[in-house]
Amino acid sequence: KRLVVLVSGSGTNLQALLDEIAARGADAYGAEIVAVGADRTGIVGLERAERAGLPTFVCRVKDHATREEWDRALAEATAAYEPDLVVSAGFMKIVGKEFLAHFGGRFVNTHPALLPSFPGAHGVRDALAYGAKVTGCTVHFVDDGVDTGPIIAQGVVEIRDEDDESALHERIKEVERTLLVDVVGRLARNGFSIEGRKVVTP
């Protein structure tokens, strides 16, 4: 299967996918990364892609007259690589109608909290501020809400008294990377169907 991965930051989730595919081989893993896209330049995520010899593309909101035009450009840039699955690995933008028209039902996101708790851009900070005792990460399909799509898998992380946002996020990301690599491989190898809110993998 062909994967396009979208990033906005350090790209450690992308790196985990790259490492697994390099270690196991794309055939055994079930998928290869065919391109990496970003919504900004100058990020480590893009450097990781280039180091791996992958094509990259950047689609910035500010280069487009409207958010809708940006969304259409992102959809077209992604579609050019003919992906079977698109993975948002720390991609910090909400996509619009056009992108979902192309990739709805095969667009996977990873979120650093146990959804439906603490959706949005500050899932780690919000769980900490709330005083939650456990949090974690959620790999889910993207729908037209913010972090509301069908859940594929979750991992749990305990919150420690001494945690600050960055320490907690680092522990979440360790679990998140393993979970994302596992989920994407399983979806790619086994196929899946989405029945309401339920994701069924054979």
With CB under 6 A as the contact rule, the residue among 1, 3, 6, 13 that binds ligand GRF is 13
| 12 residue type, one letter | T
Stretch that binds ligand GRF, among 7-15, 19-27, 64-72, 140-148 (CB under 6 A): 7-15
The answer for residues whose C-beta is within 8 angstroms of residue 194's C-beta and 6 or more apart is 105, 141, 150, 200
Minimum distance of ligand GRF from residue 95's CB (angstroms):
14
Task: Tell me: does residue 119 bind ligand GRF (CB under 6 A).
Answer: no
- What is the bridge-based pairing of β-strands 151-158 and 193-195? unpaired
With CB under 6 A as the contact rule, the residue among 3, 5, 11, 39 that binds ligand GRF is 11
- What is the bridge-based pairing of β-strands 151-158 and 85-88? unpaired
147: left (phi over 0), alpha (psi -120 to 50) or beta: left
Minimum distance of ligand GRF from residue 172's CB (angstroms):
6
Helix pair 165-190, 123-130: axis angle to 10 deg: 130
Catalytic pick among 111, 122, 140, 169: 111
Q: How far apart are CA 202 and CA 199, in angstroms?
A: 10
Number of Cβ within 10 Å of residue 188's Cβ equals: 19
> Is 122 designated active site?
no
Q: How far apart are CA 132 and CA 86, in angstroms?
A: 31
Q: How far apart are CA 155 and CA 198, in angstroms?
A: 17
| Cα–chain center distance at 91 | 6
The residue among 110 and 135 lying less far from ligand GRF, judged by its C-beta, is 110
The residue among 175 and 194 lying less far from ligand GRF, judged by its C-beta, is 175
With CB under 6 A as the contact rule, the residue among 73, 83, 176, 192 that binds ligand GRF is 176
With CB under 6 A as the contact rule, the residue among 48, 72, 93, 111 that binds ligand GRF is 111
The residue among 68 and 158 lying less far from ligand GRF, judged by its C-beta, is 158
Q: What would you report as the CA-atom Rg of the chain, rounded to the nearest whole angstrom? A: 16
Minimum distance of ligand GRF from residue 30's CB (angstroms):
20
Q: Which residues does the annotation place in the binding site for (6R)-10-formyltetrahydrofolate?
A: 67, 92-95, 109
Active-site residues, by number, are 111
Chain positions contacting ligand GRF, by CB under 6 A: 7, 9-13, 45, 89-90, 110-112, 173, 176
Q: Which residues does the annotation place in the binding site?
A: 11-13, 67, 92-95, 109
